[in-house]
Amino acid sequence: MPAPSSASATHNWTANIGIATFKGEYQTDWNVIMAASLLAALPIMLAYLFLQRYLVGGLTAGSGK
């Protein structure tokens, strides 16, 4: 009997793998897929909104000679 791998445990999946499991063979619940995609992307978008001033400041400071 093979040892269970960490990839087979559902609590170790990344968001992309977890969202892909919502797609069924005969039916796909697009509402759930879109809601999960939004929840996965929301922290990244919020971080960008709050840190945008530092990103732009760093990019412009590095462009001068």
pTM score = 0.66
Dump pLDDT digits (tens) for 3-39.
455 556 778 888 888 888 888 889 888 999 999 999 9
C-alpha 37/C-alpha 19 separation (Å) is 7
Nearest to 30 by CA among 42, 40, 38, 22: 22
* Model pLDDT, residue 63: 79
Report residue 45: phi and psi, to 5°: -65, -40
